[in-house]
Each structure stands twice: as structure tokens, then as C-alpha cells.
Amino acid sequence: MNRIAIRNGHVVDPSSRVDGVRDLFIASGRIVALGEAPEGFTPEIEIEAAGRMVCPGLVDLSARLREPGHEQKATIASETRAAVSGGVTTVCCPPDTSPVIDTPAVAELVRHRAKQSGRAWVLTLGALTHGLEGEQLAEMAALKAEGCVGVSNAGRPIRNSEVLRRALEYAATYGLTVYLQPRDPWLGQSGFMHEGSVSTRLGLPGIPETSETVELARCLLLIEQTGVRAHFCRLSTARSVEMVADARARGLRVTADVAAHQLHLTEMDVAGFDPMFHVIPPLRTIRDRDALRAGVAEGVITAVCSDHQPHEPETKLAPFNGTLPGISALETLLPLTLRLVDEGAFDLNTALARVTRGPAEILGIETGTLTPGTRADLCVIDTEQAWRLDPGTLLSRGRNTPFRGWEFRGRVTHTLVQGRLVYELR
Amino acid sequence: MNFPGNWNTMQLDAQGRLRHFLTVEGLPRRILTDILDTADSFVVVGEQPVKKVPLLRGKTIVNLFFETSTRTRTTFELAAKRLSADVLNINVSTSATAKGESLLDTQKNLEAMHTDMFVVRHQHSGASHFMAQHAAPHVSIINAGDGQHAHPTQAMLDMLTIRRHKGAFDSLCVAIVGDILHSRVARSQIHALNTLGVGEVRVIAPRTLLPVDIESLGTRVFTSLSQGLAGVDVVIMLRLQKERMQSALLPSEHEYFQRYGLTEEKLALARPDALVMHPGPINRGVEIASSVADGPQSVILRQVSYGIAVRMAVMSMAMGRSPGARETAAKEPE
């Protein structure tokens, strides 16, 4: 295996509280030392990182890779290539593929394809209910044995509270974390954007805040009853942040994430009917956005994810409510997160923690840190390089981004996965 | 100026003239007044034995309707014919789009046939904006109703009706009654009334039929018909769709009529010379009593006649061929 030295980089690793210029040494796919080289270390590759930042590879809690079943949109190969170009070394893929990841065979297929493509690590969530239909329990024990890191209904409703309760209990039996995206099966189901003054103006059916909070309340009560470890995906409202903070304060084992775009965009951005801003949960008010930012800063929300959903162009070439929701977001996760530091929402260490060790802890994996001994998943970032987003240059098969023309600072120059250089900016 | 939702960069050309007519929201009062003045001149055309003017001779107008409509489609068709344009009516249920062709492909195919204008009705809010964004440079888009968003020609024919009966707008109090939540007509009326400077715009409905924060569009909200009608100059009733009972918005037609139906007794609370309007088609005995719909204060059928004149005005202006166009152009250097 390669021995690599990354020289003179500004190493920032929130989990080990390292923040300073250090050399970093890798051997056999692991970080072997920070600062001083181990005795007799002779690197085969040297990466000069003076003036650049070296940080753990990003861990993304939710990326749709579209395989199997939707290869017209993207493939595991195309999307993991996009991931590493954005510094993302681990992605977690929800079970709403086609077929659904509710049998070990599908989980194995995803793992196999990811291995073939050989770039980012691809983890899977198994289905919580059979076919995600919300009626029968999925074979969670078998899914866990095949390597699924958790279970989820991927935003599909479980209407019957008895089924939800039993699904949580069964998941708890096997120590599986349940990933819940709170959305009431009735409130705002026919909606397309946040219910508020903008939806009133545009005449677009609305999705009220209670669509999220009512379901969040039901889930919290059942989590408390069953004692399952649960993670809330894609919070979008100020009230949700309060509810999760309260639950955590009362000792419930719950965590939460937010999609990076929710920390930047609001309902006002939808006012031009641009389908690129069509997302679920919807973009909400400035007050919600600010509360989500505060939730990230204060550690109520411990992960920021991409919520990557690549689409083929036709999918977004229609009037707003004739389009599918979602953003191709793997390549904007890091830029949007760094931008929050520039905007003063929180400091660099907090920002990086929420995209590295924070999500890794939720997933229960060892990465997201540069502590010697751990797997060498990391990236080198030229933090001063300014660039403007041109959707045509995205490596993802999906070019559906609302951030066309946005100016960012900071660009990934190298990405290493298990000590292998899988991306280098040319 | 190009913030999301500022449609004027799309609706008006570089000289500030109407190019597409997508929404009333944000258009300057000058444009709305131009539409009304031009429509006034066309009202006369409809009353003459020969009802045609040659303004749009040689132009091809496509009526592209993705939702069924009788009144709006036929009045657009008549308006186009009275302007001497060639008209193509495309109803989606009998065309390629029903076979899965996208809106954009439909538009591009029709543009390839050298058409000049699309009059579009679509179930999705923003559909006409979408078409305007993708339109060829010489093609105009007229919104004939998009989802629950806008129905600007309906609003303008209502404004023409009000102006022809009441003269000035500034002292008027206008009430819009009924299913505001689902109504593109109400939204366009509210914008038009506020732009033309009426004294007060009221909306009257049970809370289930009022969209969130409707006050922000410049309205005063009433949930009681009796209180809301007190002293108004114009009452605009909206059609109540039968589906609203199924979706838990209302208990029954009966209770709705009891509380929000316009009867002679309720109308007596408005000013004695108040106009009664309705965009049609009316549900007699659901939102309006027959005696009121057919009564002396009703101008419902006039609205239909004025609808043709307003659509002639909008079509000719968007094609740069309105009777006053030369005059306006001559004035411009000032």
C-alpha cells in the first residue's frame, strides 16, 4: 500500500481539536501520524498543501445515487465520482431505490456496484417497512447482517401508528438507528411549497409547518415509549428545532440533520416559479432558516447533509408543480457549508464538524476524523480559490441546482479514500 | 430589478409595452388603464353590424386549453376572429399532450408552424410564465388561467365592467365573496383593484376558503357576509366547486348558501346602487340566488360581452397593433 505525506497543510479536525499547520502521514490506508513522521517513514507520494486546508473527508447522510432503478438519472459510478470531487468520502443512500432496499440482495447489489466504482464509501439504509408501504415490517435483522447502517421509510408515510410503534420496537431489538423524515400523511400532501404569503401569491398549494411538526410529535412520543435510537432527517422549521432540542434535553436518544440548501434558501426564492427551488421539505421562511442555522451552531442539529437528488433535465423542464422535487447537491455541500462560515453563522470548526464527525457519529462509523489510526478518508481544500458555479461543469449526472451563478470560496484539490488519491483538481 | 417574482422584465418589452400578459401583479397602472381604454374602443366594434377590424390580419393565434372551458375559450376565439386573426383551438384531451407530450414540446411544435400567439389555460400555477420563458422572440403568451395563480383577462374585464358602471375607482369599496383559496380570478382581481387604486378591497369567506396571509395582498378580511357587505359598491361572487365538500372545507352546499349565498336580503346591506358580478359559470342556489343573479343590480351578462372587448384589447396590444399604438409611439420621445 501507498505511503503518502501531505506536507505543510493547515490541518483542521474538529473531533480531535487539531487546528494548525501539520504534516500528515498515511500508510496502508490509515493515518499513521500527524506532525512528526513515524520512524523511517519514506513516502511514495508527497502532496504539497502549503496554504491549503486538510480536513476529514465529508460524510453525507443522504444522497440518492439512483441505482438500482433510475439509471436514466444517475449511477453509483457517476455520483461517487461527483462526491469525491466535492470532498465527500462517505455517502449514505436511502432505501427508496427501485427495487426498494428491503432485501439483503438489493443492499448487496449497491455495495457491489460501489466497490466496482471504487471511489467514495457507499453505505445503505434498509427499509423500515416492506416496500416502504408502511404496512408490514421489513426484514431488518437480515438487512443489518448485509451491512445496512440503519433503517428508514425514506420519507414515505407510515399512517398506522401501531405499525410505526412496532417498527421502532423491532428496530430497537437489533440496535438499529431509525431514520425518520417527518411528514404528516395528510397535512399538505398535495402541496408544493411552504404554506405562507408566497404560496398565497403564487397560487401554489401549500405545505404547512404542521405537516412536519405534527409527525415529529407523534414520532417523539413513540421513540420515548420504545426507547429506539432515532435520527430526524431534513428538519425545515424553527419549531422542529425546538422540539428536538427539548427531546434531547429530556434525555431522548435523538439526533437531527438539515439539508445544506435549507440553511441558505427561503420561500422567497420560489417566487419566480423556478422548479430548481422545488424541494421536499419545502423552503420555508427566513425565521425558519435562521433557527435552523442556530440549531446547527448550538449542536441541536449535528449533521448537515446534501440531500442529493440528481434528475435528468426533462424532469425540471415544466411548470413548477409539474416537476419532481430535489437538488443535485453533492458538489455544493462543502461550498455551502464554508459559505456559512463566511456569513458568520458559525465558526469553521463547527461547520466542518457538522459534515464530518457529526454525521459519522450518527451513522456509527469510525471516519470523519483525522485521529492517527483511523482510515485515511480526507480532503485538501484551497480555501482561497474563488469560483462561480456553472451547472454544466458538475460531475454529477444531475445538473438540477438552484445555485447557478453563485460565487463560492474554497475548492477541493485532493480527495483520498482509504489512503488512495481518488480525486485531484486539474 | 430582476428579483424572483418581478414579472415585468418578462411581460413588458424594452419600451415598456405589453409583450406577454401573464399576471396583473406588478404591472403599472398605465398598462391597466391602456387595456381598459383600448377595450372601450372595441366595445363599439361588437355593437356594429360588421364586427371585424383588420388589426391582426395574417396572424395565427392558438387557443391552447389544458382545462375545459366554454366561456373563456369562446370569448378568446371571438376576440381573435373580430381582430381578423386565424384561430386554432387545441383541446388537450384530444391531442398529443394527452399521450404524454410535454408542455414544452407542444409549444415548440406549434411555434414551428409559425404561430404568433398562444392563449393558454393550464392546471398548473406558473404554466404561462413557463411558456413565456421558452417562447420564440416573436411569440406572445396570454394567460387564460394558470392553476390557482392568475386569470388576468378575467380581472381586466371585471375592471372594465366596474369602470363603465361606476366611473372612477378611487372611492369604491369592492367585496370578493367565496372560495378565495382556490381562485385565480380573485387573486388577479385583488391586484387589479389595488393597482387601479380602489378605496378598499374586501374578501369574505369562511376561514377554510381563505388562503394564509391574504391580507398581505392588500385586502381586508371578513368571515361574516353581513358585516363584509355593509356599504360596498361592488359585490363579486365566486363560483363554489362541488369538490370542496369532499375535501373537508365545507359541511354542505346548504350551510354555505345560508351563510355566504348572496340573497336579496343580504344584498340590501350593500349600497343601494351596488353592482353584482360573477365570473361564471354560476351555481344558482349555491353561491347566489336566482333573483339576485337575474336582478336589476346584476351585470353578469355584461361582463361576458366586455370580456370579448378586453381580450381584443390585450391581444392587439401584445401584437403591437392596438388602435392607439401609433399614438402611444408618437408620444414616446417626450
Judge if B80 and B99 occupy the same domain: yes
Per-residue cell: A395: 460531475
Average pLDDT of chain B, as a whole number? 91
Judge if B166 and B109 occupy the same domain: no
Judge if B144 and B156 occupy the same domain: no
Judge if B22 and B93 occupy the same domain: yes
List CB contacts (< 8 A) between A186 and chain B. Answer: none
Q: Is B103 on the interface with A (CB under 8 A)?
A: yes
Chain B contacts in chain A segment 261-320 (CB below 8 A):
268-274, 314, 317-320
B289-305 pLDDT, tens digit each: 999 999 999 999 999 99
**Is B48 part of any domain?**
yes
Per-residue cell: A4: 503518502
Per-residue cell: B172: 369604491
Judge if B173 and B70 occupy the same domain: no
Judge if B12 and B23 occupy the same domain: yes
Q: Is A195 on the interface with B (CB under 8 A)?
A: yes
CA angle A256, A258, A263 (to 5 degrees): 145
**Is B334 part of any domain?**
no
Average pLDDT over residues B167-175: 96
For the domain that residue B30 is a member of, what is the CATH number? 3.40.50.1370
Note down the domain range covering B159: 152-299
Would you place residue B327 in the very low, low, confident or very high pLDDT band (cuts 50, 70, 90)? very low
Average pLDDT by stretches of 10, chain A with 426 residues: 91 96 96 95 96 98 97 97 98 98 97 93 98 98 98 96 98 98 95 97 97 98 98 98 98 97 98 96 98 98 98 96 97 98 96 98 97 97 96 97 97 97 94
List CB contacts (< 8 A) between B26 and chain A. Answer: none
Judge if B89 and B191 occupy the same domain: no
B94/chain A closest Cα distance in angstroms: 20
**Is B66 part of any domain?**
yes
Judge if B235 and B280 occupy the same domain: yes
Judge if B175 and B266 occupy the same domain: yes
Looking at residue B97, its pLDDT comes to 60
**Is B333 part of any domain?**
no
A169 C-beta neighbours (distance < 10 Å), count = 15
Q: What are the phi and psi torsion angles at B267 (to 5°)?
A: -60, -30
pLDDT at B99 over 70: no
**Is B127 part of any domain?**
yes
Q: Which of A145, A134, A270, A128 is nearest to A197 (CA)?
A: A270
CB contact under 8 A, A196 and B213: yes
Whole-angstrom Cα distance, residue B136 to residue B113?
A: 12
Judge if B279 and B180 occupy the same domain: yes
Looking at residue A123, its pLDDT comes to 98
Instruction: List residues bridging with A48 in a β-sheet.
Output: A7
Judge if B137 and B272 occupy the same domain: no
β-pairing, A3-13 vs A18-27, is: antiparallel
Q: In chain B, which residue's Cα lies nearest the Cα of A205? A: B148
**Is B330 part of any domain?**
no
Would you place residue B246 in the very low, low, confident or very high pLDDT band (cuts 50, 70, 90)? confident
Per-residue cell: B332: 414616446
Radius of gyration of chain A (CA): 21
Judge if B156 and B295 occupy the same domain: yes
**Is B329 part of any domain?**
no
Per-residue cell: B315: 391581444
What percentage of chain A has pLDDT greater than the value 90?
99
Would you place residue B47 in the very low, low, confident or very high pLDDT band (cuts 50, 70, 90)? confident
A23 belongs to the catalytic site: no
**Is B201 part of any domain?**
yes
Q: Domain total for chain B?
A: 2
Buried b / exposed e along A371-398 (16+ C-beta atoms within 10 A): ebebbbbbbbbbbeeeeebebeebbbbb
Per-residue cell: A266: 427561503
Determine the angle formed by the axes of helices A104-117 and A76-85, rounding to 10 degrees: 50
A244/chain B closest Cα distance in angstroms: 26
Amino acid at B215: E
Q: Which of B237, B64, B23 is nearest to B150 (CA)?
A: B23
